[in-house]
Amino acid sequence: MSGKVAVLGCGTMAGALIGGLIDADTVKADDVVATARSESHRDEIARTLGVKTTADNAEAARDADLIILGVKPYAAAGVLEEVADSLKDDAIIISIAAGVTTEKLLAAWQGNVVRVMPNTPVRVGKGAFIVSPAPGAEEAGEKVVEILGTVGRVIEVPEKLHDAATAVSGSGPAYVFLVAEAMIDAAVAMGLPRDQASQLTVATLAGSAELLAGDEHPAVLRSEVTSPGGTTAAALAELEAGGLRATFADAMTACRDRAAGVS
């Protein structure tokens, strides 16, 4: 895309998003201005992303074509109201603030607001995005889908399902990382050197993800590696006895509920 991009609150998720877009050559680093409160954080952003930085949100947002609202959820509407007078009429706001509805954001600025939940794999061009345009911002939503599609899979959902989808993809990488951590620790406890345990776990998860991207159902893939009475069957029996499925359901429900109440 061409035009100025402002990142208001360049934390971990917003930084991963803009970094991925820069790496994909979707946006130019020279066209990006990012904000952060502390000078040390601004210096880090400039060093790692190669973008301009400032502490002034209104300055960053002035004449920007695309604004990524990356501040904490409790501050999102306030920051949008703060910069409203600096925004172009046709500017597009991408809000990645968990749990903050487009209705709340539209109360701060009546314009093109698109609610988005990215995830951190966007940094390596493998992101998953949930997109929910505000009423009247459908055309802006199409542009956002096109932009984000350069760095991952984009799924547009009704806003009423946004928090539920956040529990799948927004927080999902953390579930995978926890599984990886548990597998590595268990392997070390059984005697494997940590570096080998890590390499085997990462390769296994990456390869399994590639298989999941195909057409076969996860249950079919699981059954293919599970012989009756075999080693995998013994392992899965322990996971089922430990309530793994119910624990995941409870965890994702808790994530959805927290997202709904976080702002």
Condensed to tens digits (0 to 9), the pLDDT of residues 204-244 reads 999 999 999 999 999 999 999 999 999 999 999 999 999 99
Q: Locate 55 and state its tokens.
A: 């502490």
Q: Is the dihedral of CA 80, 170, 126, 153 positive or negative?
A: negative
**57 annotated as a binding-site residue:** yes
Confirm if 36 and 53 have CB atoms less than 8 A apart. yes
For the segment 30-48, what is each residue's pLDDT rounded down to a tens digit? Answer: 999 999 999 999 999 999 9
Q: Under 8 Å CB-to-CB from 125, ≥6 apart: which residues?
A: 20, 23, 24, 151, 152
Provide the pLDDT for residue 2: 82
Confidence of residue 260 (pLDDT cuts 50, 70, 90): confident
**255 annotated as a binding-site residue:** no
**111 annotated as a binding-site residue:** no
Separation CA 173–CA 121 (nearest Å): 8
For the segment 150-187, what is each residue's pLDDT rounded down to a tens digit? Answer: 999 999 999 999 999 999 999 999 999 999 999 999 99
Q: Is the dihedral of CA 156, 157, 159, 161 positive or negative?
A: negative
**8 annotated as a binding-site residue:** yes
Q: Locate 49 and state its tokens.
A: 């992303």
Provide the pLDDT for residue 263: 59
Walk me through the domains of the chain, giving residue ranges and CATH numbers: 5-156 (3.40.50.720), 165-261 (1.10.3730.10)
Confirm if 161 and 169 have CB atoms less than 8 A apart. no
**119 annotated as a binding-site residue:** no
Confirm if 10 and 38 have CB atoms less than 8 A apart. no
Short-list 89, 93, 137, 97, CA closest to 11: 97
